Amino acid sequence: MALTRPSSPDSQGWQSGTSTPRTENSVLFGDLFGDDDFILVVGGLGYIGSHTTWELLKAGRSVVIVDNLSNAFRTVLERLQTMLQAHYPDISQAPLIRFHNIDYRNVAAMRIVLEMYARTPSPERPRPSSIAGVIHFAAYKAVAESVEQPLRYYANNVAGMIDFCGLLDEFGVKTFVLSSSATVYGELANKGGRLPEEYCTHATTNWQDAEGRHQTTFGGSSGLTNPYGRTKWMCEAILHDLAASDPEWTVVALRYFNPIGCDASGHLGEDPRATPNNLMPVVVRVLTGELEVLDIFGTDWDTRDGTAIRDFIHVTDLARGHLAALSATSDKLATGFHSFNLGTGTGHTVKEVVAAMEGASGKSIAVRHSERREGDVAMCIADPKKAATLLGWKTEKTLDDCCRDICRFLRLLRL
Full domain range(s) for residue 110:
38-267+313-345+378-396
Residue 282 lies in a domain: no
Residue 5 lies in a domain: no
Element (H, E) at 215: strand 214-217
Task: Label the pairing between strands 312-314 and 309-310.
Answer: unpaired
Task: Please give the full DSSP string across 357-408, using - where no structure is assigned.
Answer: HHHHHT----EEEEPPPTT--SEE-B--HHIIIII-------HHHHHHHHHH
Q: Count Cβ atoms within 10 A of the Cβ of residue 321 and give its class: 0-12 exposed, 13-18 middle, 19 or more buried.
A: buried
Number of domains in the chain: 1
Write the DSSP symbol of residue 10. Answer: -
Residue 65 lies in a domain: yes
CATH number, domain at 193?
3.40.50.720
Q: What backbone phi and psi angles, to 5 degrees, belong to 260?
A: -145, 180
Nearest to 71, CA basis, from 251, 272, 248, 265: 272
Write the DSSP symbol of residue 118. Answer: B
Strand, coil or helix: what is 206? strand
Instruction: Output the CA angle 384-174-332, nearest 5 degrees.
Output: 40
Write the DSSP symbol of residue 3. Answer: S
* Residue 21, phi-psi category: left (phi > 0), alpha (psi -120 to 50), beta (remainder): beta
- What pLDDT sits at residue 371? 94
- What pLDDT sits at residue 335? 87
- What pLDDT sits at residue 15? 35
Residue 137 lies in a domain: yes
Residue 25 lies in a domain: no
Q: What backbone phi and psi angles, to 5 degrees, belong to 7?
A: -130, 170
Q: How far apart are CA 56 and CA 189, in angstroms?
A: 32
Whether the CA torsion 52, 58, 62, 65 is positive or negative: it is positive
Would you give per-residue pLDDT tens digits along the chain (415 residues)?
Answer: 344 433 333 323 333 333 444 444 443 444 455 567 999 999 999 999 999 999 999 999 999 999 999 999 999 999 999 999 999 999 899 999 999 999 999 999 999 999 999 998 888 788 899 999 999 999 999 888 999 999 999 999 999 999 999 999 999 999 999 999 999 999 888 787 899 999 999 999 998 988 889 989 888 877 898 999 999 999 999 999 999 999 999 999 999 999 999 999 999 998 877 777 789 999 999 999 999 999 999 999 999 999 999 999 999 999 999 999 999 998 878 789 999 999 999 999 999 999 999 999 999 999 999 999 877 888 999 999 999 999 999 999 999 999 999 999 999 876 5
Whether the CA torsion 38, 386, 339, 297 is positive or negative: it is negative
pTM passes above 0.75: yes
Residue 274 lies in a domain: no
Strand, coil or helix: what is 336? strand
Q: Which residues are catalytic?
A: 228
CA atoms within 13 Å, Cβ hemisphere of 412: 24
Residue 273 lies in a domain: no
Residue 92 lies in a domain: yes
Total residue count of the chain as it appears in this document: 415
- What pLDDT sits at residue 222? 72
Nearest to 251, CA basis, from 157, 141, 136: 136
Instruction: Output the CA angle 297-69-266, nearest 5 degrees.
Output: 70
- What pLDDT sits at residue 278? 85
- What pLDDT sits at residue 144? 87
